[in-house]
Structure 1
Amino acid sequence: MFDKVLVANRGEIAVRVMRACRELGIDTVAVYSEADRNAGHVRYADEAYNVGPARAADSYLDHEAVIDAAKKADADAIHPGYGFLAENAEFAGKVEETEGVQWIGPSADSMEQLGEKTHARKTMQEADVPIVPGTTDPVEDPEEVTEFGDEHGYPIAIKAEGGGGGRGMKVVRGPEEADDQLESAKREGEAYFDNDNVYLERYLENPRHIEVQIIADHHGNVRHLGERDCSLQRRHQKVVEEGPSPALSDELRERIAEAARRGADAAGYRNAGTFEFLVEEEDREDGELLGPDANFYFLEVNTRIQVEHTVTEELTDIDIVKWQIRVAAGEAFDFDQDDVDLEGHAIEFRINAENAADDFSPATGGELTTYDPPGGIGVRVDDALRQGDDLVTDYDSMVAKLIVHASDREECIARSRRALAEYDIEGIPTIIPFHRLMLDDERFVAGKHTTKYLDHHLDNQRLVDAQEKWGTETESTGDDEEVVEQEFTVEVNGKRFEVNLEQRGAAAIPAGGSGSGSGGGQKPQPAGGSDDGGESVVEGEGEQITAEMQGTILDVKVEEGDEISSGDVVCVLEAMKMENDVVASRGGTVTQVAIGEGDSVDMGDTLVLVD
């Protein structure tokens, strides 16, 4: 067994992995960006190393920085969690080549074969697993998109090979959208997964999202741990997951599980992974299930642990993360497939820092002035933040996960109502009101919701009413005395120590150097920074188009002197791993562009001036 594991991630999943390590008697190492210097996963770890600035590409996605941290800490294994580098075959290969460091996950070759979607589709075709009509080679030209649309019809999904969870996926509803959506999908794929290859699929209009948890050791043993239903999504992002699926008959359930097993066998898969499928929903009476003849299609393989692995753990009483570590250490399973029993029903609720009533817009900052999670029988909370912590908005919006387990779905829903009512968070908005609404939603309770339900069928006024009824305070009520804090971080023999100097009612302490963090009030920097290290200065008069949230500029659509109209897109801002178009509220002439591609901006920063 390993002595020390570096967790190449942040937030609740980093703490989740560290807890498994601690129970196995393994020391843990955290990595953190400047934005996460006070994060919960840093506090929990035995050691912690700074791997760069807030921008993920310069820290959590920096291959060499993460591997160097493992070497400095003398870690003998790296666990990637999910997201960031978890499905990056190049990074996995580098870890495999690093002497004395073991990769906790499937091999780089398996990740190459299954993690990149075009390779996975080819493998599934050979294993006689049904796939959605689409391409098996990367698409480069918009004409390929329109030709596919002419043959298979619209809409079309353009998907990044390394993507998942809706990131790197764009929907083309007509030939006129092919150029822009192809460019956007490739850009997201490059930004988040270091891979701008994309492929095409027929876009199913009314599917359920079903996935099968697989785990395999290096001794020829493959186990499936049942399925999860992840159909409640907004903008292709899962918000509620449950198991078993409330829509599948036992016969259909077995067909899908068998397809997953065939796929895993064909790929020679090892460690934990998830085979995802789309199941076409049908008109059903109340209580009627989808029969064995229902259409289902392979979607993708997630070559990693997933956010919703907790649902399966509650149903099977199998610690998947521990088995990831044990498999990587060479251990064989001590249970057979017949030993895997799914007991009762489990639901996971993602507690995101978002306002569901405002199109699930992410919080732009705040402090957890109150944080009191629920407890009691059948209630589990996976988190990393604690009361008094500031919300870090540079990455995803998830604060925690609430997992509820009970003897059946009816009791699980009742227990979930109780647990969500107990969950007390103030200082930031969360989607707890949305979750409470869903537990009284007729379609969700009946198990008839699909992946399109939230985006196309749910009345937004119900979300507004839920937010008013169950929403919490989002502003701190502390005193107004200015507190200036200067933090120093030092490492001695691999151990992280922090020294804080705090002054109240005093002028700000000057901070030297350009790497002192992401202080508020700074103007956006030119792409790559200015030659003299100075700030970009906004000059002139006119309408200021400002950033509504903290993020990174992915694309600038205008130049000085351009004539624009109300509603025109001036730039694309990435925040919370989603692309957001920034539009002009009125027409005019662009007199200054204060940002460039790759710049990090804070909420309120001026992006463009229009006269």
Structure 2
Amino acid sequence: MFNKVLVANRGEIAVRVMRACDELGVQTVAVYSEADRNAGHVQYADEAYNIGPARAADSYLNHDAVIAAGNQAGADAIHPGYGFLAENATFAAAVESTDMTWIGPSSDAMAQLGEKTKARSLMQSADVPVVPGTTDPVESASEVESIAAEYGYPVAIKAEGGGGGRGLQVVRETDDVESKLETAQREGEAYFDNDSVYVEKYLDEPRHIEVQIIADHHGNVRHLGERDCSLQRRHQKVIEEAPSPALSPDLRDEIGEAARRGVQAAAYTNAGTVEFLVEDGEFYFMEVNTRIQVEHTVTEAITGIDIVKWQLRVAAGEPLSFEQSDVITDGHAIEYRINAEKPDADFTPTTGTLTTYDPPGGIGVRVDDAVRQGDSIGGDYDSMIAKVIVSANNRAECLARSERALAEFDIDGIETIIPFHQLMLTDERFCNGEHTTKYLDHELDPERIKRAVEQRGGSTSDELSSDDVGSNDTIERAFTVEVNNKRFDVTLTEETTPEVPLPDLESDAFEAASSDSNSRSTRSRPDEALTDTENDASTVAAGDGEEVSADMQGTILSVEVTEDDTIEAGDVVCVLEAMKMENDITCERGGTVSQVCVSAGDSVDTGDPIVILE
């Protein structure tokens, strides 16, 4: 087993991996961006290293920075979690070329299965049914149009390195082909460092079924049953469960064996997920996720198998200790993603401070998170802040227990999609297990979501006033310093009175250093931590004209207007990426653009001006 593992990720999945390492006696190393200086995964790790600015491309997606941190820490291995570099075969190969071990499938297997066109070809050769479409990348709108002419609209344009709905665009008519192709390519480049796309027939009312597999280096391949991930909005999963309420025993066995057959053909090792679409009793291979999944938790709940520990053991060369016949599912489990989003405003990402954070507990309730009360939720990364996993003897009991758990979740300061989850527990289609991947986007009445939010009571962003703070003469403050990019926690005891302001720990006048190269991050969370308040966007005076401003924190992907343009109410002025979602920023009234305040690549905060209208 390894001595020290670097987790090349953030948030709840980073903490999840670190906990597995802890139980195996393995030390952990965190990496973090400037935006995550005080994040939960940084607090949890044994040591942590700064790898760059908030922008993921400059930090969490920076191959050289992550590998350099691993070398500096003396890590034996790198675990990528999910997202970011988890399915990047080039990065995996770079790790394989070092003295560190890549905790995942080989870069060759990732290249075959992680890129969707190669995966489709491989599955076809293994006699696994695939959705009709291309096995080679497409580059032009005319190629997409010719495929649509062969199979009929709608078709799906998908990023080769994509997953989780990123880089997926549905085309329903010829006029949309060019814009959808450009968007899919842009998202593929932004999220997966790969702008290559392919096209397949789009199924209108499928179930999304995926099979968890684990394979060692000794020729053993096991599947751990299936998960149903059909409840999605904008191709993003929001609730997942295991087992699927929609499969017959025969179809369940057939899909499981098809998944095993496919990964064996690729000489695959470590954990992975084979995803299928099921419609009218037929199943079709969709893709392989060559990593751990967000929803691996429900499989763990019904099998009792710790998938992350087995990732570590397999990577360390251990054989699987169980046969396929030993994998027995027991009961039912459902995972609820707790996203920082406004469900009654088309699930728009939201930011703020967790003035209250008190997750549920009790029998059959697991919470995976990396946040605590007082933490700030920014808009630089994915909107998911926690996962609630509920398990019980059967689906009916699991739904009832879910009602209790979600009602217990006390969270304030930001809006979340908990009211949406509570609505689903009263929804006939969902409770009967009859929903498809299109149910939320095409059938659920948005007014029902608004009423659910009102019933929950919403959230507030009230901060503590100075009157709420105690007046002790001795104040102990925790803060952070960095030496050679390595993070250290320091505690300062100050003698002061309420009338005397505390020193500015971020000023040039305050300096701190440490010469202890073996110091580690403590696991106690600081009561007050330094924050990064620098705003990357230029500050622009609004002037006398009407201002179109950003309604969320994020990064400008493109600016759609120039000075002196005449625009109408509802026109898009820019595309803003926030929490891995593209959002159109529109104007409420028409006018002439007198000033453009941002450029592509700029970071903006809520309320920052985008354009000024005359």
TM over 0.5: yes
Question: In structure 2, what is the equivalent of residue 300 of structure 1?
Answer: 287
Q: 2:567 aligns with which of 558, 561, 564?
A: 564
Q: How many Å separate the matches in 1 of 2:506 and 2:292?
A: 43
In the TM superposition, what is the alpha-carbon distance from 1:557 to its structure 2 partner? 1.6
Question: In structure 2, what is the equivalent of residue 356 of structure 1?
Answer: 343
Instruction: Answer yes or no: is the 8 Å Cα contact 2:480–2:488 preserved in 1.
Output: no
Question: In structure 1, what is the equivalent of residue 597 of structure 2?
Answer: 594
In the TM superposition, what is the alpha-carbon distance from 1:493 to its structure 2 partner? 10
Deviates more, 1:181-190 or 1:352-361: 352-361
1:606 equivalenced with 2:592 (yes/no): no
Question: In structure 2, what is the equivalent of residue 171 of structure 1?
Answer: 170
1:405 equivalenced with 2:404 (yes/no): no
Question: In structure 2, what is the equivalent of residue 8 of structure 1?
Answer: 8
Instruction: Answer yes or no: is the 8 Å Cα contact 2:371–2:385 preserved in 1.
Output: yes
1:414 equivalenced with 2:414 (yes/no): no
| 1:89 partner letter | A
| 2:89 partner letter | A
| 1:118 partner letter | T
Question: In structure 1, what is the equivalent of residue 271 of structure 2?
Answer: 272
In the TM superposition, what is the alpha-carbon distance from 1:585 to its structure 2 partner? 2.1
Q: How many Å separate the matches in 2 of 1:482 and 1:144?
A: 64
Question: In structure 1, what is the equivalent of residue 442 of structure 2?
Answer: 456
1:428 equivalenced with 2:414 (yes/no): yes
Q: 2:332 aligns with which of 345, 366, 385?
A: 345
Instruction: Answer yes or no: is the 8 Å Cα contact 2:540–2:609 preserved in 1.
Output: no
Q: Structure 1 residues 238 and 500, CA, compared in 2 at 3 Å: closer, same or farther?
A: farther
3-state SS of the aligned residue for 1:476? Answer: coil
Q: Structure 1 residues 568 and 508, CA, compared in 2 at 3 Å: closer, same or farther?
A: farther
Q: How many Å separate the matches in 2 of 1:81 and 1:450?
A: 28
Instruction: Answer yes or no: is the 8 Å Cα contact 1:371–1:426 preserved in 2.
Output: yes
Question: In structure 1, what is the equivalent of residue 26 of structure 2?
Answer: 26
Q: How many Å separate the matches in 2 of 1:501 and 1:489?
A: 16
Question: In structure 1, what is the equivalent of residue 73 of structure 2?
Answer: 73
Instruction: Answer yes or no: is the 8 Å Cα contact 1:35–1:518 preserved in 2.
Output: yes
Question: In structure 1, what is the equivalent of residue 454 of structure 2?
Answer: 468
Name structure 2 gaps, 5 residues minimum: 470-476, 510-529
| 1:444 partner letter | F
| 1:344 partner letter | G
Question: In structure 1, what is the equivalent of residue 322 of structure 2?
Answer: 335
Identity %: 66
Q: How many Å separate the matches in 2 of 1:539 and 1:478?
A: 30
1:549 equivalenced with 2:552 (yes/no): yes
Instruction: Answer yes or no: is the 8 Å Cα contact 1:87–1:111 preserved in 2.
Output: yes
Question: In structure 1, what is the equivalent of residue 474 of structure 2?
Answer: none
In the TM superposition, structure 1's runs of 4+ consecutive aligned residues that sit over 3 Å from their partners are 480-483, 485-488, 491-495, 498-513, 535-541
In the TM superposition, what is the alpha-carbon distance from 1:538 to its structure 2 partner? 4.6
| 1:574 partner letter | E
Question: In structure 2, what is the equivalent of residue 287 of structure 1?
Answer: none
In the TM superposition, what is the alpha-carbon distance from 1:337 to its structure 2 partner? 0.5
| 1:519 partner letter | T
In the TM superposition, what is the alpha-carbon distance from 1:472 to its structure 2 partner? 4.3
3-state SS of the aligned residue for 1:239? Answer: strand
1:129 equivalenced with 2:116 (yes/no): no
| 2:605 partner letter | D
Q: 2:578 aligns with which of 575, 598, 604?
A: 575
Deviates more, 1:580-589 or 1:28-37: 580-589
In the TM superposition, what is the alpha-carbon distance from 1:543 to its structure 2 partner? 2.1
Question: In structure 2, what is the equivalent of residue 250 of structure 1?
Answer: 249
Instruction: Answer yes or no: is the 8 Å Cα contact 1:49–1:496 preserved in 2.
Output: no
**1:519-534 equivalence runs, <5 A:** 519=533, 522=535, 524=537
Instruction: Answer yes or no: is the 8 Å Cα contact 1:482–1:505 preserved in 2.
Output: no
3-state SS of the aligned residue for 1:413? Answer: helix
Q: How many Å separate the matches in 2 of 1:5 and 1:440?
A: 43
- TM-score normalized by structure 2? 0.91
- TM-score normalized by structure 1? 0.91
Question: In structure 2, what is the equivalent of residue 286 of structure 1?
Answer: none
Q: Structure 1 residues 482 and 596, CA, compared in 2 at 3 Å: closer, same or farther?
A: farther
Question: In structure 1, what is the equivalent of residue 58 of structure 2?
Answer: 58
In the TM superposition, what is the alpha-carbon distance from 1:563 to its structure 2 partner? 2.3
Q: How many Å separate the matches in 1 of 2:165 and 2:317?
A: 34
Q: Structure 1 residues 488 and 568, CA, compared in 2 at 3 Å: closer, same or farther?
A: same
In the TM superposition, what is the alpha-carbon distance from 1:352 to its structure 2 partner? 1.0
Name structure 1 gaps, 5 residues minimum: 283-293, 525-534
In the TM superposition, what is the alpha-carbon distance from 1:207 to its structure 2 partner? 0.6
In the TM superposition, what is the alpha-carbon distance from 1:517 to its structure 2 partner? 6.8
1:497 equivalenced with 2:475 (yes/no): no
Question: In structure 2, what is the equivalent of residue 228 of structure 1?
Answer: 227
| Aligned residues: CA RMSD | 2.2
Q: Structure 1 residues 523 and 108, CA, compared in 2 at 3 Å: closer, same or farther?
A: closer
Q: How many Å separate the matches in 1 of 2:445 and 2:503?
A: 49
Question: In structure 1, what is the equivalent of residue 311 of structure 2?
Answer: 324
3-state SS of the aligned residue for 1:579? Answer: strand
